[in-house]
Amino acid sequence: MTDRAPFAAPRIGTTRRAFVAGAVACLANAALPRWAMPAVAVGTATELPAPPFEIGVQSFTLRRYAFEPMLDVLVSLGVRRVELIPELAVFFYRFGSHLPVTDDAAAIAKAREALAARGISISASGVHSIPDEAEARRLFDFAGRAGIPLLTISPDDDALDAIDRLCRERPGIRVGIHNHGPYTRYDTIADVEASLAGRAPNFGACVDTGHFIRSGEDPVEALRRLGERVHGIHLKDHVESGFFASGCLLGEGRLDLVACFRALREIGFGSDLAGPERAISLELERDGETLLADVAACLRTAALAAGKA
């Protein structure tokens, strides 16, 4: 692992030019024409040491694949838990969905059958934008129907009180506010903390380690400060802070993986204490011909680090 530079102070304020430029950079990194790719064999299921934490995958990583081929890839990688993306869009580009928000019972049943047939469970669904109470209620109803234990969310301020009420009404469903880097509503650790103050216990955070690095924050500190509020993790790495910082494979950037898993133990996130409603999801935003090998390498790196924690 490379030496880490000190975390830079987070930036404040934004401009239209910076926002648009960042969106373009995001699209350049992730948004190419979408097609339903067939599953690609990557050999037998990856033989990993049994870590004390079950590590799943955020399906945005495999956004090139249609739903069932994506599941087949997970099987080939030895992955048993998946966080499924809903409908996602950035300006004019739509990323598609592995599990759209729907009240269609037949569609939900078909998806669950495909998952069960492969021995894969849904760990979470996200990231969902929540502008108001109506959308919050729609998402909670969907989670109940689909058996989704955790919703990863990016709520507007006006929706926070409604989400809190729904969390108290539906204690079996957890939600996690997802930090998304510089110039977003949830940029810093303090942004997330302030929004969660006084909220229901199942109203917590999804700590995106890569985006906290982009924001000049220490992801390990984020885990410790948010403590029992950490319901989900998007596990990824970056080589530097900043709005335009690009991602890298786990272990090649500034994320101290062993310290990260130690912090998870300290806050009671271990598999012996954390039920299925909590999720660790590996996420790679990069794409290319080596994607599946990259995912396999990251899973191995994470498992080895977790074993040392």
Helix H, strand E, coil C: the string for 37-66 is ECCCCCCCCCCCCCCCCCEEEEHHHHCCEC
Indicate whether 103 pLDDT > 70: yes
Average pLDDT over residues 43-70: 81
Q: Write out pLDDT tens, residues 67-95.
A: 999 999 999 999 999 999 998 655 545 66
Label each residue of 248-270 as H, E or C.
Answer: ECCCCCCCCHHHHHHHHHHCCCC
From CA 63, how far away is CA 34, in angstroms rounded?
A: 8
From CA 233, how far away is CA 142, in angstroms rounded?
A: 21
Average pLDDT over residues 25-51: 47
What is the Cα 75 distance to its own chain's centre?
Answer: 19
Whole-number pLDDT of residue 16: 39
From CA 52, how far away is CA 182, in angstroms rounded?
A: 32
Mean pLDDT of the chain: 85
Average pLDDT over residues 241-268: 95
In 3D space, the residue among 214, 95, 119 whose CA is nearest the CA of residue 222 turns out to be 214
Spatial contact of 180 and 214, defined as CB atoms under 8 Å apart: no
* Residue 116: partners with Cβ closer than 8 Å, 6 or more residues away: none
Average pLDDT over residues 20-32: 42
Indicate whether 20 pLDDT > 50: no
From CA 136, how far away is CA 153, in angstroms rounded?
A: 10
Percent of the chain with pLDDT over 90: 73
The SS3 assignment for 174 reads strand
**DSSP β-bridge partners for residue 250:** none
What is the Cα 247 distance to its own chain's centre?
Answer: 14
Indicate whether 10 pLDDT > 80: no
pTM score of the predicted model: 0.84
From CA 182, how far away is CA 243, in angstroms rounded?
A: 6
Average pLDDT over residues 234-254: 95
Confidence of residue 287 (pLDDT cuts 50, 70, 90): confident
pLDDT higher for 148 or 287?
148
Spatial contact of 138 and 167, defined as CB atoms under 8 Å apart: no
Average pLDDT over residues 134-148: 98
Tell me the residue type at 281: S
Whole-number pLDDT of residue 89: 57
In 3D space, the residue among 78, 84, 106, 113 whose CA is nearest the CA of residue 97 turns out to be 84
User: Which option is the CATH number for 39-308: 3.20.20.150, 3.20.20.140, 3.40.1280.10, 3.40.50.970?
Assistant: 3.20.20.150
In 3D space, the residue among 50, 127, 56 whose CA is nearest the CA of residue 88 turns out to be 127
